[in-house]
Structure 1
């Protein structure tokens, strides 16, 4: 028979984070700048969390829901038209402690091929070279699942994930699925995500809102991994 924990053991347990703190932090999001090309992005040393996904995956709606703002992220009536990276500052009392990056949606059929290729190069370069990038949120319509384009994006960031980059697959529009469909979509995405976090999310029903808000707050305020000090290098390595 399992014994009940002692009062001292209960006191030692870490308190569960209050999602209200994460929601309040996200609500501070405010427009910072827009950049049609990488060279127009400001060099920042703050943690940056990028939102990416196919057109019509519900990216703008998800950002607006998470920040509790109706028009922070602009949803174009013509998917694929917006071709700029939009940055939003986060932090209370005017102090910025993190940045959200809204990357244009990809994969829309009506966009000219040259424009698609140009943006694919810009986005790939951003994901590979943006030094302060802390996490990537990939938004997918669970009725389509993770597509070939999404898999290509995951392959681009894989080397950085191995170095500590966080990533989340957010299955939007979960309210359109029944329980069996939702469980199947979640299981399939976990298999394809290769170790990343996966969450069901519904802007309409506010499903997954607390979990995702807390995850973003944790990632933005987590101390970055640091390389081992020189003293820890083995003698053999030091002689090379």
Structure 2
């Protein structure tokens, strides 16, 4: 099996605010989602590296902008998980301010991957993030995660209903939706193709032979 360019992803740094981010150049794809929707697991599956975004059993642990480098000019950015009820209001507001500053100011950002639990899609916070993506003019790709927990008919019906609500079939739509399961490896190729395109790479981009596969241990702890 050939290697995808996303397999070279490695933890670069965590930023407490947009000012601490790497230089605003090149290509970036951000990942957002409600706490416990499967964001960390999705990132790990896309990169084929279980420890890339470390999964915490306590939702809401991602409090920083976690940056993963693909190469010198391409990065994945894990945004703080949102919508977790047990997180203090002041902390949620701080997270939202940080995410707001990043999304509105980041020129390198090319698209947003929004993680939704396929069993509970289109919650209030999900819809807010979709509106946010539209407001800043960025394309958004929705991963309906944990699809393996639904029957085939349930998954198909959920996908159809979400597409209908988001008017995905509209030619002017900047939103796309797919079923995804990190556990069953469902939808990996489709999701990787979207991310690779936003990173300015061919859909079947292979990692260069010289790319280092050494990944630092002890990456950031994220809420799954």
Q: TM-score range by the shorter chain?
A: 0.7 to 0.9
Which one has a larger percent helix, Structure 1 or Structure 2?
1
- Cα distance in 2 between the residues matched to 1:81 and 1:24: 29
Q: CA 1:145–1:63 in 2, change beyond 3 Å: closer, same or farther?
A: same
Q: Report Cα offsets for 1:174-205 as digits up to 9, x if no partner.
A: 00011221112111221333421101001111
* Match runs of 1:106-125 below 5 Å: 106-125=82-101
- Cα distance in 1 between the residues matched to 2:127 and 2:17: 24
Unaligned runs of 5+ in 2: 168-172, 203-224
CA RMSD of aligned residues (A): 1.7
- Cα distance in 2 between the residues matched to 1:129 and 1:97: 18
Unaligned runs of 5+ in 1: 1-18, 224-240
Q: 1:198 aligns with which of 159, 177, 186?
A: 177
Look up the match of 2:51: 71
Contact 1:61 1:73 in 2 (8 A): yes
SS of the residue 2:32 aligns to: strand
Look up the match of 2:170: none
Larger radius of gyration: 1
- Cα distance in 1 between the residues matched to 2:56 and 2:98: 20
Contact 2:9 2:69 in 1 (8 A): yes
Q: Report Cα offsets for 1:19-66 as digits up to 9, x if no partner.
A: 94xx52001001111101122112221110000000001000110111
SS of the residue 1:27 aligns to: helix
- Cα distance in 2 between the residues matched to 1:188 and 1:97: 37
Look up the match of 1:172: 145
Contact 1:128 1:156 in 2 (8 A): no
Q: CA 1:56–1:83 in 2, change beyond 3 Å: closer, same or farther?
A: same
Contact 2:8 2:47 in 1 (8 A): yes
Contact 1:85 1:103 in 2 (8 A): yes
Post-superposition shift, 1:81? 2.2
- Cα distance in 2 between the residues matched to 1:142 and 1:189: 9
Q: 2:108 aligns with which of 132, 137, 147?
A: 132
- Cα distance in 1 between the residues matched to 2:91 and 2:192: 33
* Match runs of 1:1-240 below 5 Å: 20=2, 23-91=3-71, 96-161=72-137, 165-194=138-167, 195=173, 196-221=175-200
SS of the residue 2:49 aligns to: coil
Q: Please give the TM-score of this superposition, normalised by the length of structure 2.
A: 0.82
Which one has a larger percent strand, Structure 1 or Structure 2?
2
Contact 1:170 1:198 in 2 (8 A): yes
Number of residues of Structure 1 aligned to a counterpart in Structure 2: 196
Q: Please give the TM-score of this superposition, normalised by the length of structure 1.
A: 0.77
- Cα distance in 2 between the residues matched to 1:106 and 1:88: 20
